[in-house]
Amino acid sequence: MPETFSNPKEVPPEARSKLSRRELLGIIGGLVVGGAIGAAATYVAAPKEVVKEVAKTVTVPGPTVTVPGPTVTVPGPTVTVTPGARPVPTTPLKIGCQTFMKGGNAPLGVPLYEGLVAAAEEINKAGGILGRKVEVIVRDEAGTDETVKEYKRLVLEDKIDLYIGLISSANTPAVAPHAEELKCLSLFIDGCTDVVFDVVDRNPVYVFRNHFQSPDGLINNFQLMRLYKRKTGKLPTRFAYIHPDYGYGRLVHAHARYATDKVMPENVNAYEAFVKFPGTTDFSAYITKMLEVKPDVVLSSEWGGDFKAFYKQALGYGYFKAIPVFISTLSHGTYPEFLETDYPEGIGAGVHANYWFEYPLLDQNPVNKYFVDSYFAKWKRYPNFEAEGAWTMLWAFKGAVEEIYAKIKGGWPETEEIVPILERWAMVCPAGVWQIRKDNHNGYKDAISGVSINDPKLGFNKLTDPYYIRVDKISAPPRWQLEVFDPKGPHPTATADWIFRTWKKGELPDGVTL
């Protein structure tokens, strides 16, 4: 493979890194810490809050005592801690995880678990977090009520120290309020709906998330325009949509419609359908309808087993030849081997705007190369964005704990001390530069989409020709959701509100080129 190392196993030995596994771990640690320091430096340069010398109440077995001590501060928000009062527990750090471990959603859910376990094992081999080994307790993610029930069981009965997980956009808005109430540090990986921090949990403390949804619908919508323009020399006018009927599909559609109506006010919404998900086996009527209305482009957010049924049937109808440009935001988001080589080439390839294991190029991002190689070695397949998200989140947590530990000079930090560190966290992760924004606790990384191509060596269809848009160009600016967006107003999310208010009619937004 000349530029892209499609299969790290196939890279000739002389081209592979000479670094040992331990050295690579060191690089990752360095990048994590380096990223954090970089971010810290930014915050140091920024105006800081006044730090006051205070005493802190520490609860110890027996009576509550007030222990005076020096104040340690970190850049940004005030954090007051007391050294030496809390020894690092000798018990393992329990991480509760919920993800889809079976069914049509498993192609997204199982990789999340695998990414988390991969990170946990690497961390344990490197000595744990402040010497504490990490343990993962996994529970199946299910419908909303059951997921909330299991979440509470993890927190209250299993007494987890940290929660990492969730795939569904139906579940994160339901779990978030419980996480805040139970004060359990909960790092969501997906469940990406913007509604979580725009509407449900507007001032988050204990809840963070690896990524969010609006860049997904938007970049793939622009990718449709770009591919159509590349093919015909002009922009599309007739749009059609087929989405799974739940929060994710509905919001992909909403963001795409907001953007299209601004950029191309004369566009035609030729057809839109929301299909029962998961479990739809027959798409023939939907396919026929789309062939009837003859759209220029079709945006979909179908994925997993349902998407496979859709594209198989669509092939039989000659759909991908009849429809000039098609993209599904998640066609390539499941584990990479999922799409076989019968998948059509040259159509849009969506990965939730997030991560495809060959980008950033493996020879240019040692973290990505390390991650892909080690993940493949362990699981015998390549990681998807959920695996990357879970892996990154646990490493971020480790970095945050160690950073605050260094400041308090001993003692296991409390959750309230870890939160401010995470709120300004930045690191180089396998997907590239990733940072958490303080005002909404979302992780930000630049959005990616691509084009499908079969790779005979890998034996599956993959993403190529990556198309990037800076994430801040297709998402609401900081504090928009608090200061401008009205959750009871007409727009479903802060980004939709921002598009409606600021994008100019008939123009591409700043930072977007086709």
Partner 1 sequence: MSNIIFLYLISGLYYAAYLFLVAAGLTIIFGLARVVNLAHGALYAIGAYVAAWLMGLISKQIPPPLWYIIIIIAGAAGAAFVGIIIEPLLLRRVYGRLEEFQLLLTFAILLIIEDLELMIWGPYPLAFKEPYHYLGAVSIGGGLMYPLYGFVVIAMGWLIALFLWFFMTKTKLGIIIRSAAANKEVTAAIGHNVKSIYTKTFILGATLAGIGGAIVMPSATAQLGLGIDILVFAFAVVVIGGLGSLKGALVGSLIVGMTRVVGIAYFPEIELALIWLIAVIVLVFRPLGLWGRE
> Which residues have C-beta within 8 Å of that of residue 45, sequence separation ≥ 6?
none
How far apart are CB 103 and partner 1 at their closest, in Å? 4
Q: Is 298 in the site for partner 1 (CB under 8 A)?
A: no
How far apart are CB 350 and partner 1 at their closest, in Å? 19
Strands 447-455 and 460-469: antiparallel
Q: Is 204 in the site for partner 1 (CB under 8 A)?
A: no
How far apart are CB 39 and partner 1 at their closest, in Å? 37
Of the candidate residues 280, 435, 440, 452, the single one contacting partner 1 (CB under 8 A):
280
Cβ–Cβ < 8 Å for 466, 359: yes
Q: Is 145 in the site for partner 1 (CB under 8 A)?
A: no
How far apart are CB 101 and partner 1 at their closest, in Å? 6
Long-range contact set of residues 75-79: C-beta below 8 Å, sequence gap at least 24: 75/40, 75/43, 75/44, 75/48, 75/424, 76/43, 76/46, 76/48, 76/49, 76/420, 76/423, 76/424, 76/438, 77/49, 77/420, 77/423, 78/49, 78/50, 78/51, 78/52, 79/404, 79/407, 79/417, 79/420
Task: Give 5 or 310: the residue with its C-beta nearer to partner 1.
Answer: 310
How far apart are CB 386 and partner 1 at their closest, in Å? 14
Cβ–Cβ < 8 Å for 475, 258: no
Q: Is 273 in the site for partner 1 (CB under 8 A)?
A: yes
x-marked contacts with partner 1 along 153-192 as a string, rule CB under 8 A: ----------------------------------------
> Which residues have C-beta within 8 Å of that of residue 409, sequence separation ≥ 6?
72, 83, 84
Of the candidate residues 288, 406, 459, 510, the single one contacting partner 1 (CB under 8 A):
288
Residues in the interface with partner 1 (CB under 8 A) total 40
Tokens at 202, concatenated: 């507007």
Of the candidate residues 47, 285, 490, 513, the single one contacting partner 1 (CB under 8 A):
285
Cβ–Cβ < 8 Å for 80, 71: yes
Residues in region 90-119 near partner 1 by CB under 8 A: 101-104, 106-107, 109-110
Written as one string, the DSSP assignment of 442-480 is: BEE--EEEEEEEEETTTTEEEEEEEEEE-GGGSSPPTTH
What letter would DSSP give residue 199? I
How far apart are CB 142 and partner 1 at their closest, in Å? 11
- Three-state DSSP class for 104? coil
Q: Is 58 in the site for partner 1 (CB under 8 A)?
A: no
Residues in region 299-358 near partner 1 by CB under 8 A: 304-306, 308-309, 312-313, 315-318, 322, 338, 340, 342
CA dihedral sign of residues 164, 165, 171, 172:
positive
How far apart are CB 156 and partner 1 at their closest, in Å? 26
x-marked contacts with partner 1 along 227-266 as a string, rule CB under 8 A: ----------------------------------------
Of the candidate residues 26, 143, 279, 506, the single one contacting partner 1 (CB under 8 A):
279
How far apart are CB 287 and partner 1 at their closest, in Å? 8
Q: Is 45 in the site for partner 1 (CB under 8 A)?
A: no
Q: Would you call 365 exposed, middle or buried from its count of C-beta atoms within 10 A (0-12, 13-18, 19+)?
A: buried
| C-alpha–C-alpha distance, residues 217 and 223, integer Å | 10
Q: Which residues make up the interface to partner 1 (CB under 8 A)?
A: 101-104, 106-107, 109-110, 271-274, 276, 278-282, 284-286, 288-289, 291-292, 304-306, 308-309, 312-313, 315-318, 322, 338, 340, 342
